[in-house]
């Protein structure tokens, strides 16, 4: 039979992409329920070309639901994921709440699809978008050359902070546009934004237009940002390398959607650029764009709205043995969020066939 699917958080930035992805991939589901907070309940949204009324998040909404995909804040998942699982749904959770729980698999279908079946709590987690942006590529390289270390700098899009993140960048750009003196004096961007936008709240701790902000997430021990810690812990769990050495600096940049990562990766064995090309070109969901002589490399503006992981600028590290440097781009709302969850749901749906 075809399983019943519920999308929780159907009205958010990821929820919107999720409806689009579910509508465009093979139709594996019977009924689909759209679920959101009381504030959004009653709205009419489309999925698979049908108008559906958004239902309020209540325990009863999970009755008869086989698969529930949650894209809601951590604290909402903490409360509601166990309720959905208790009522019999297999939950695919996008929040950070359960990712590091040893009884919850953390799945990237290209890397560890078998882990989806080992879910004693009925919960499967999907990784943070920053981790996901590189996982298909790093998983493929790891499989053949054995990954030992990752040193990563991220260039994260504002939609990682949800609809409010994108709205803020659009507002800031509009507020600053046309002033050709801006960005030349310390603090002038901040001042201009204060004048034009007043106390409008920003999800970012500094102006993001005409700027880069070396901060993403919340403060963790030792001055690390939560995004940096997630990248380390999640990479270890997905790749199954508990002692993988990882160090990351996460940076927000004035891009609406698509995260980019500069990755310095060290392997157990010598690996050449040609080896990396061969492996990545064979990986079904990876696209290699690597011809710098002709200006070919991935940029967020060129790949946004598409599904693959794009890799370019592949270089042999000059001073580090067995190491490559490369640049990766991935749409943080698609593979980074909705698509990975949809792919996990497809693995679970196959169990109903």
Applying CB under 6 A, the residues found at the interface with ligand 2RA are: 128-130, 156, 160-161, 216, 227, 332
The answer to whether the annotation marks 315 as part of a ligand binding site is no
The answer to whether the annotation marks 64 as part of a ligand binding site is no
Smaller CB distance to ligand 2RA: residue 146 or 203? 203
**Closest approach of Cβ 128 to ligand 2RA, in Å?**
5
The answer to whether the annotation marks 13 as part of a ligand binding site is yes
| Token pair belonging to 306 | 């598409």
The answer to whether the annotation marks 95 as part of a ligand binding site is no
Q: Which residue is nearest to ligand 2RA (CB)?
A: 160
Catalytic: 259? Answer: yes
**Closest approach of Cβ 346 to ligand 2RA, in Å?**
22
Smaller CB distance to ligand 2RA: residue 40 or 128? 128
**Closest approach of Cβ 332 to ligand 2RA, in Å?**
6
Smaller CB distance to ligand 2RA: residue 13 or 349? 13
**Closest approach of Cβ 337 to ligand 2RA, in Å?**
7
Q: Using CB atoms within 10 A of its CB, is residue 284 exposed (0-12), middle (13-18) or buried (19+)?
A: exposed
Picking from 20, 29, 50, the residue whose alpha carbon sits closest to that of residue 338 is 20
DSSP 3: P
- Contact status, residue 50 vs residue 203, Cβ threshold 8 Å: no
Smaller CB distance to ligand 2RA: residue 11 or 128? 128
**Closest approach of Cβ 216 to ligand 2RA, in Å?**
5
- Contact status, residue 264 vs residue 220, Cβ threshold 8 Å: no
Annotated catalytic residue, options 250, 259, 277, 329: 259
Helices and strands of the chain, counted as H and E runs: 9, 14
Please, which residues have CB within 8 angstroms of residue 210's CB and are 6 or more apart in sequence?
A: 176, 182, 183, 189, 254
Catalytic: 250? Answer: no
Residue 184: Cβ within 10 Å count:
8
The Cα 28–Cα 92 span in angstroms is: 16
The answer to whether the annotation marks 195 as part of a ligand binding site is no
**Greatest distance between any 2 Cα atoms in the chain:** 64
Angle at 325 between CA 322 and CA 328, to 5 degrees: 135
The answer to whether the annotation marks 216 as part of a ligand binding site is no
Residue positions forming the annotated binding site for phosphate: 99
Residue positions forming the annotated binding site for NADP(+): 11-14, 39-40, 159-160, 332
Residue positions forming the annotated binding site for substrate: 156, 252
Report, as residue numbers or ranges, the catalytic residues.
Answer: 129, 259
């Amino acid at each position: 039979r075809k399983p019943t699917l519920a999308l929780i958080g159907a009205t958010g930035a990821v929820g919107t992409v999720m409806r689009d992805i579910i509508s465009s991939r093979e139709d594996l589901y019977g009924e689909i329920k759209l679920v959101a907070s009381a504030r959004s309940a009653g709205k009419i949204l489309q999925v698979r070309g049908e108008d559906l009324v958004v239902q309020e998040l209540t325990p009863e909404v999970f009755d008869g639901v086989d698969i529930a995909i949650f894209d809601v804040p951590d604290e909402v998942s903490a409360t509601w994921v166990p309720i959905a699982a208790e009522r019999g749904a297999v939950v695919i959770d996008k929040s950070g709440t359960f990712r590091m729980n040893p009884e919850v698999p953390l799945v990237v279908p290209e890397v560890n699809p078998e882990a989806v079946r080992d879910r004693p709590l009925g919960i499967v987690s999907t990784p943070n978008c920053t981790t996901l942006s590189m996982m298909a590529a790093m998983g493929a390289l790891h499989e053949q050359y054995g990954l030992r270390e990752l040193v990563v700098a991220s260039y994260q899009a504002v939609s990682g902070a949800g609809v409010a993140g994108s709205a803020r960048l659009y507002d800031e750009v509009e507020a600053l546009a046309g002033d050709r003196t801006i960005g030349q004096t310390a603090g002038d961007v901040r001042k201009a934004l204060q004048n034009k936008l007043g106390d409008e709240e920003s999800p970012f701790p500094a102006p993001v237009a005409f700027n880069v902000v070396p901060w993403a997430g919340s403060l963790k021990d030792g001055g690390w940002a939560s995004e940096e810690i997630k990248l380390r812990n999640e990479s270890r769990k997905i790749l199954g390398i508990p002692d993988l050495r990882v160090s990351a600096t996460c940076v927000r940049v004035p891009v609406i959607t698509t995260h980019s990562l500069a990755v310095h990766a060290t392997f157990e064995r010598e690996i050449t650029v040609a080896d990396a090309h061969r492996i990545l070109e064979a990986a079904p969901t990876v696209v290699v764009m690597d011809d710098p002589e002709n200006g070919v490399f991935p940029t967020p503006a060129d790949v946004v709205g598409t599904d693959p992981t794009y890799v370019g600028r592949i270089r042999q590290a000059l001073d580090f043995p067995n190491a490559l440097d490369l640049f990766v781009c991935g749409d943080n709302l698609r593979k980074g969020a909705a698509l990975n969850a949809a792919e996990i749901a497809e693995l679970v749906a196959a169990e109903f066939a």
